[in-house]
Amino acid sequence: MKTRSAVLRRSGTSRPYEQSRPLEIEELDLAPPGPGELLVRIRAAGICHSDLSVIDGNRPRPLPMALGHEAAGEVVALGDGVIDINPGAHVVLAFVPSCRECIYCNTGRPALCARGAKANGAGELLSGGSRLRTAGGATVAHHLGVSAFSEHVVVDRSSAVVVPDSVPFETAALLGCAMLTGMGAVRNTAGVREDDTVCVLGLGGVGQAAVLGSVIAGAGCVIAVDPVEDKRELARSLGATHTAAPEDAEALVQSLTGGGVRWAFEAVGAAPVMEQAFRLLGRGGTAVSVGLPAPDRSVMFPALAFAGEGKGFLGSYMGSSRPQEDVPDMIELWWEGRLPVGRLLTGALPLSRINEAFDALAEGTAVRQVVLP
């Protein structure tokens, strides 16, 4: 069948993207789903920094690539062997497929699936290869097993989490990355507890999700840090107890805690912010890195802080989540009114305006936008 997709052919294009147009909407040939796969009609797809990092060249990926990884849609057709889902089902798409066989999948850590990571790095689906071709027969790579900036996609069954039809697609889409990653880091990687002190650095969609997760966990002090005032105000409205610009964060943390926070979540993907998160810790505190820095960046921490002060630094990929379990849990919180995911949405645009959406993301004026293919 034919599908229209936003295709990146060259990274590192200069801004504004509305003029340079790194993403072009192309008509591609989409092969039918193979064994263990689904054909999904995309109904909403979120604009995330992980997509931007491919566009600006910070995350090298095989090109050309159909971008997008945070999405919700409707199942259209099933590949052979798929018996636990029906056409018409609404699904959230998770950006790490699970082989269910490697040591990570078998020990409850599907976000680290070895085969899933290899396939994602190669721009392929879990079973191998791409289902996307140009009219001339050239291969187009998949982004993180999803390629969500498309009208239709083929994905591995493990990438799809069935959700109730009552959940709006725009809300459901954000569960597949922003919420899994940010809230997952709080709940799964860190295990924030009641009355803990928390600082979140970077208040895009993932950072705001970490704020929400900390509030739901009952953290006694939630400090939200970002250079953009509007984002700080949103965090406060979501339950953050205090906010600060980055240059004021360390003084504020000291005045509130008298030593430092128990947990600091870095949701920017920049080495200086990772180092600042570590500086904000009190004795026995732990920093959690959620953002994705460029692969050639390094960080520096005082060596004595680990054994001498009991501090720690953890990585969190996709929030250490188990999507098939965590997405339904988040939907339950949403139904209860405790997880106002829709508050993170700052715009909905047609696929034709996708470059404009990435300008807003790069400029820091958007929290989470969705495109509606």
Which three-class secondary structure state does DSSP give residue 299? coil
Residue 2 has a pLDDT of 97
What pLDDT, on the 0 to 100 scale, is given for residue 108? 95
Predicted TM-score (pTM) of the model is 0.97
**Residue from 260, 254, 227, 221 nearest 239 by CA:** 221
pLDDT tens per residue across span 275-290: 999 999 999 999 999 9
d(CA 372, CA 271): 33
CA dihedral 189, 193, 198, 203 (to 10 degrees): 60
For the chain, which ranges sit under pLDDT 70? none
Instruction: State the architecture of 2-166+340-372 in CATH terms.
Output: Alpha-Beta Complex (3.90)
Residues 6+ apart with CB under 8 A from 287: 263, 264, 265, 266, 274, 277, 278, 280, 281, 311, 312, 313, 314
What is the CATH number that goes with domain 181-317? 3.40.50.720
Pairing of strands 132-133, 70-78: unpaired
Residue 225 has a pLDDT of 98
- One-letter identity of residue 52: L
Domain ranges within the chain, ordered by starting residue: 2-166+340-372, 181-317
For residue 293, the model assigns a pLDDT of 92
> What tens digit of pLDDT does each residue of 202-243 get?
999 999 999 999 999 999 999 999 999 999 999 999 999 999
Q: What is the pLDDT of residue 32?
A: 98
